[in-house]
Structure 1
């Protein structure tokens, strides 16, 4: 669940994500989300608490929730595909945020 504004969503989001800004959770969560499916929230990045606020709002309504640490920023920086209003994209992984010569970080 992408909890950011429409402008931010259009700028880039994770493929398959549901767009539901935090301010609209009370009004639209029931219509957009299945209570049987755990929800993972994200916002811009580690400097933003939007995903935490969205997770709290959903948990208070009985949803099972997890927060994606790093947000959209680290999704892109680690080389995962993303979508924008213009179409899809993908960048090479930033070697300071993702392993270069290993299949995973080993943690």
Structure 2
């Protein structure tokens, strides 16, 4: 079974961020912004470690009632969040996908593109 990958890239303001993508290239988790590449790489390592643990996920809803989830580290800091979903069941499938793909060690560096 093919696993996804992390895509490390630069945000518009020059900070670093990453997406965890599933094998079908869909973004399943988006990181916060980091001031340095090293910090973003630490963020990826944190997703690899915490993204396989169901208790690290928290479901929320936006102001329109659309469910999404966040992934938290052991210290309760947010590591990443999902897109907005149409239903909680769809958000749960997103969590399942993150849990399946989080341990991947493949990182595609798009910072120099």
Specify the TM-score bucket, using the shorter chain as the normaliser: under 0.3
Structure showing greater Rg: 1
More strand by share: 2
More helix by share: 1
Q: TM-score, normalised by structure 1?
A: 0.28
Quick one: higher RCO (CA 8 Å, sep 6+), 1 or 2? 2
